[in-house]
Amino acid sequence: MPKSKRLHFKDIDAMRFFAFLPIFLFSVFYLTRTDDDGFHSETTIILGYIKQNSLDFFFFLSAFLITSHGLREYKYNNSFSLRDFYVRRIFRIIPLFIIGILFTFLIHPWILNTLKLNTIVPPSESSYLLLFPNYFSKHTPEQYIYLSIIWTIYMFIQFYITWGIILKFFKNNIRIISIIFILIGIVARIVHYFLDHATFEFDTLSYGVPIGTGAILAELIRNDSPYIAKIKTLPKKLIFPIYIFGCLFVLSGYLISTNFIVASVIPVFTCLFFSFAIIEQTFGKNSIGKLRNNKVFSHLGKASYGLILYQAIINVLLVIGMDSLDFDIASETVKVAFLLISFVLTWIVADLSYNFYEKPLIRLRREFKKV
């Protein structure tokens, strides 16, 4: 492929790492919580709100990248291969997904059985095979941490299947469809409130706002929208306050929105900020700094999928280890050690996985990339 055709959003890699951090911290704090009050418990609740922005961001980013590459394929080939699209998604998502499934149904129950610790009831296989696992069933805290990752992957699979069909057959109506997705996302979250305050976290429809916003951004960039051109040339005196306000809103938006109507439109504003950050970082002429220049964050961001999955598994294994060795999880020293050990092990395992397991499959996936 000629270099002129390539468009790689390098700064997105570092953004992925920053989106991973709230998920990781929530998992650690959730598993090491020993009471319902106090600093630790309050921090866990706050991190739970912040991590919702991470889920919104990953759906936003997937819609943006998938739509961007789909529109490029149309531009250079005058067609879009649905088969190749699905094959590329399979090569990227399934290898780690298999590890998560094995841990869920085989490894975790086997470890507890072998160590004669508390037994757990594995989830029903049938619903997983039908792509609609029982998101709202009750599980132990340890199970919830890795099952929530598995459930989220299932939502992405549902999204990929749907969006591939949209790119194939409704490419000329992407903007209208994206607006419909945004409206569906808002309504879905409101409906969940009336369903006895049921959580929307594992309802794929509830991510219509980030999906629709990401797709619209991809189309605007592809069509050289004048709005994009204006953001490219924003002066530094405006860029800095936008980042400050945007980051503060991302950190506090869900937390301070007590009204359910307001909470349902929070992703509209956070996704507008995500859109600004991608445009400014990729094309900005007056950036206060480029995330791509931080090699560590960029490298970790490339392995973000593995970081998210492996941290859940490693955290559960650490909990099992502490239980079997009778460590006092209420000790602040143990909690700090848990966090540090978990981060280091997650980094090592995700890095090895990315370089020796995922990367070869990513290269193979490129054989099914038309442009």
Please tell me the predicted confidence (pLDDT) of residue 1: 42
Please tell me the predicted confidence (pLDDT) of residue 166: 98
Please tell me the predicted confidence (pLDDT) of residue 361: 78
Please tell me the predicted confidence (pLDDT) of residue 123: 81
Q: Is the pTM of this model over 0.85?
A: yes
Q: What is the 3-state secondary structure (H, E, C) of the chain?
A: CCHHHCCCCCHHHHHHHHHHHHHHHHHHHHHCCCCCCHHHHHHHHHHHHHHHHHHHHHHHHHHHHHHHHHHHHHHHHCCCCHHHHHHHHHHHHHHHHHHHHHHHHHHHHHHHHHCCCCCCCCCCHHHHHCCCCCCCCCCCHHHHHHHHHHHHHHHHHHHHHHHHHHHHHCHHHHHHHHHHHHHHHHHHHHHHHHCCCCCCCCCHHHHHHHHHHHHHHHHHHHCCCHHHHHHHCCCHHHHHHHHHHHHHHHHHHHHHCCCHHHHHHHHHHHHHHHHHHHHHHHHCCCCCCCHHHCHHHHHHHHCHHHHHHHHHHHHHHHHHHHHHCCCCCCCHHHHHHHHHHHHHHHHHHHHHHHHHHHHHHHHHHHHHCCC
pLDDT tens profile 209-260: 999 999 999 999 999 899 899 999 999 999 999 999 999 999 999 988 867 8
| Sites in the chain below the pLDDT cut of 70 | 1-8, 196-198, 258, 364-371
Please tell me the predicted confidence (pLDDT) of residue 231: 92
- Domain borders along the chain are 3-368
